[in-house]
Structure 1
Amino acid sequence: MQYRRLGADGPVVSRIAFGNSLTAGNQLADPNALACVHAALDAGITTFDTADAYADGRAEELLGRALHGVDRDSVVVCTKVGRGGGPGPGALSPARIATSLDASLRRLGTGHIDLYQAHLYDDTTPLEDTMRAFAAAVRAGKVRCVGVSEWAADEIERAVALAHELGVPLVSNQPQYNLLWRVIEAEVMPACTELGVGQMVWSPLAGGVLTGKYRPGQQPPAGSRAVAAQGGDVSIRRFNFMSDEVLTAVAEAADLAERAGVTLPQLALAWALRGESVATAVIGASAPEQIGRNLAALETALDPELLHRVDAALAPVVVRDPALTLSRMLRAKSLSQKAS
């Protein structure tokens, strides 16, 4: 395992983090979910990411059970606030933060959270109120540092300015980032680099699409995330990753990687981690053995010629528009629905 500091002032994190957004308490039986966390620990993964919204809190509870008895100082526990109880007005209000934080601590079975992240931007709550609530949590010793998830560049800039005023270490952003979805490159990444905010990227394999297991014109494999009723299918299809055009381009990229002697998942993970601002990539797993296969990405050398060919194959389907940062996308959808 390799390790890197998250942002300028954050904790040292494992380059691969383990997340349980669609698995623990949801798509996996409890024993299998616990086994995946133990396999991650055995592999040297120290960083674990969850949220109050995942499986209505069950994901946090299972992570807490899995980490019971582990030296608390040897792991970095990350969770989020803002969607537990459902998104909507006041998702990041001080009252919601206070209530959700105590519930997360209880479910995780810990006295503090290493990284507490604002889950999407809440434009119904003044940002000053949200940041003051985060500052209170840090002063109380319940939170070590804070971050955001899927915020736009201007939102991050304002949050960092307030964090400095309040003495709060805002160290990270957690966006989706992969070979197909590059919306953070134009605005978010440059802003974060200047501000000392690190990237903790999620979905580096595009929900499994960049494993190459989905083929154009074919039904998804039984039991795969793309056909799961517990949210995996919605997550993948929201970003149009399952269109025949995307799957055809991914199949070409997979063939190029195979001819070069690497697997597409190894290439995709190594690509997501290549930038200096990306401290860690969050992976999930439905079986313990998947974790070891993904860790091979840390030893994968990225040949410039191969990357050029893969980029050319994927170019017609790559999404780069910064307006599609998830908080902005959902806000635009909500406004459109209200207008209609």
Structure 2
Amino acid sequence: MEYRVLGRSGLRVSEVSLGCWAIGGPSWRDGEAVGWSGNDDNASLAGLKRAFELGINHFDTADVYGDGHSERVIGRFLKEVPRDQVVIASKVGWFRGTAPNAMQPIHIRHQLEQSLMNLGTDYLDLHFFHNTNFGPDDLYLEEAADTMRQLQKEGKVRVIGQSGYGYRDFMRVCPVTRPDVLQFHYNAFGNEFDKPDTNLFRWADEQNIGMVLFGPLAQGLLLDKFDPENPPQFGDGDIRASNSSYTKERLLEIRRRLTPIKERFGTDVQDLVRVAIQYALAQSPNACVIPGFKNAKQVESNAQSAGKPLSAEDAAFIRSVIQGA
């Protein structure tokens, strides 16, 4: 396993870390599926243990993943490993309970206490604002930032992070939340974060801010493991059920784009895992990736991709083929 320091945060994490959304299981928010089906707690726990054995030391969860279930599974894992040898990250901002907004300061404090109880620990190494919705006209933005810094002073949070979904949103809130780590979606399909006018990698590198990239495998779409003639079906409470990328037409298009990738790097799924993970890591030395998992086999597959970087020429080739750029 290779390790990276997440910029000015000083956190030293495995370049391939783990996203723990899927192990939260099926869940809903405001009637919409926001979880994952097909999880098994014993398999999840075995995956966490295997990750630690392989040198993965950074585990990313959130209060909303399975409405606390992901955190509780990690809590079982934390009873079996030295707490100071792992980096535990959680988030607040999607589950609002009875609060008018999930970023209301008293709710942030309550959710942190609940997360700590779920995890069986007395501090988080990294705590993210899970989104940039701080109420109408950013009503709670300054108070939320002050609350998080107070929790940091109390020793309950080591490092403050900001997760988000748009470049302009990051630019709006980061001057107030002042995060040392950003979290955002990125993979070889590309998005606004790698474009010239909205390049979040460049901005974060200039500020020496760490980056945690989720979705490096595009929920399996970059691995060509789904049959276009028999598109996958997902269970209740699974966010993928509403994703139009799992249609026959889209799967065939992705397969076409992956053909030259396979010719250059190999045809096995493991070859494509390495390509996807290392492409994301190539965007910045201050970044790590957090692919998801449900079992030890998937953890092993993710971990095998560590320490096998792409050349600049390889990365440019992947970008041109997948993005047509």
Q: Shorter-chain TM-score: which interval? A: 0.7 to 0.9
- Residue 242 (structure 1) aligned with residue 253 (structure 2): no
Offset from partner CA, 1:241-263 (integer Å, 9 cap, x none): 32445423431343333333432
Q: Distance in 2 between matches of 1:108 and 1:201?
A: 22
**Residue 4 of structure 1 aligns to a residue in which SS?**
strand
- Residue 75 (structure 1) aligned with residue 92 (structure 2): no
So what's the TM-score if we normalise by structure 1?
Answer: 0.81
Unpaired runs of 5+ in structure 1? Answer: 165-169, 221-225, 319-340
**Residue 280 of structure 1 aligns to a residue in which SS?**
strand
Partner residue, 1:139 = 153
Partner residue, 2:29 = none
**Residue 125 of structure 2 aligns to a residue in which SS?**
strand
Offset from partner CA, 1:166-191 (integer Å, 9 cap, x none): xxxx2111111001142212322232
Structure 1 residues 301-312: aligned runs within 5 Å: 301-303=309-311, 306-312=314-320
Offset from partner CA, 1:61-108 (integer Å, 9 cap, x none): 111111213111100000000112469842111011011000000000
- Residue 202 (structure 1) aligned with residue 252 (structure 2): no
1:273 to 270, 281, 284: 281
Unpaired runs of 5+ in structure 2? Answer: 27-37
Moved more, 258-267 or 130-139: 258-267
Alignment check: 8 A CA contact 2:273 2:302 kept: yes
Partner residue, 2:291 = 283
- Following superposition, the deviation at residue 301 of structure 1 comes to 4.3
Q: Give the % identical residues.
A: 28
Aligned pair in 2 of structure 1 residues 22, 293: CA closer, same or farther (>3 Å)? closer
Structure 1 residues 108-147: aligned runs within 5 Å: 108-124=119-135, 125-147=139-161
Aligned pair in 2 of structure 1 residues 129, 277: CA closer, same or farther (>3 Å)? farther
Partner residue, 2:30 = none
Partner residue, 1:227 = 234
Q: Distance in 1 between matches of 2:316 and 2:168?
A: 31
Aligned pair in 2 of structure 1 residues 178, 146: CA closer, same or farther (>3 Å)? same
- The letter for the 1-side match of 2:227 is R
Q: Distance in 1 between matches of 2:218 and 2:241?
A: 13
Q: Distance in 2 between matches of 1:89 and 1:189?
A: 33
Aligned pair in 2 of structure 1 residues 313, 113: CA closer, same or farther (>3 Å)? same
- Residue 260 (structure 1) aligned with residue 247 (structure 2): no
**Residue 260 of structure 1 aligns to a residue in which SS?**
helix
- Following superposition, the deviation at residue 264 of structure 1 comes to 1.4
Q: Distance in 2 between matches of 1:122 and 1:213?
A: 35
Aligned pair in 2 of structure 1 residues 147, 308: CA closer, same or farther (>3 Å)? closer
- The letter for the 2-side match of 1:291 is V
Aligned pair in 2 of structure 1 residues 264, 87: CA closer, same or farther (>3 Å)? farther
Aligned pair in 2 of structure 1 residues 154, 197: CA closer, same or farther (>3 Å)? farther
Alignment check: 8 A CA contact 2:282 2:309 kept: no
Offset from partner CA, 1:169-223 (integer Å, 9 cap, x none): x211111100114221232223222222221000100011111112334322xxx
Aligned pair in 2 of structure 1 residues 218, 86: CA closer, same or farther (>3 Å)? farther
RMSD: 2.4
Offset from partner CA, 1:112-140 (integer Å, 9 cap, x none): 00000001112413311110010111011
Partner residue, 1:294 = 302
- Residue 106 (structure 1) aligned with residue 117 (structure 2): yes
Q: Distance in 1 between matches of 2:55 and 2:186?
A: 23
Q: Distance in 1 between matches of 2:175 and 2:285?
A: 19
Structure of higher RCO (CA pairs closer than 8 Å, 6+ residues apart): 2
Q: How many correspondences in the alignment?
A: 304
- The letter for the 2-side match of 1:146 is I
Moved more, 289-298 or 253-262: 253-262
- Following superposition, the deviation at residue 7 of structure 1 comes to 2.2
Aligned pair in 2 of structure 1 residues 35, 24: CA closer, same or farther (>3 Å)? farther
Q: Distance in 2 between matches of 1:313 and 1:247?
A: 16
- Following superposition, the deviation at residue 154 of structure 1 comes to 4.3
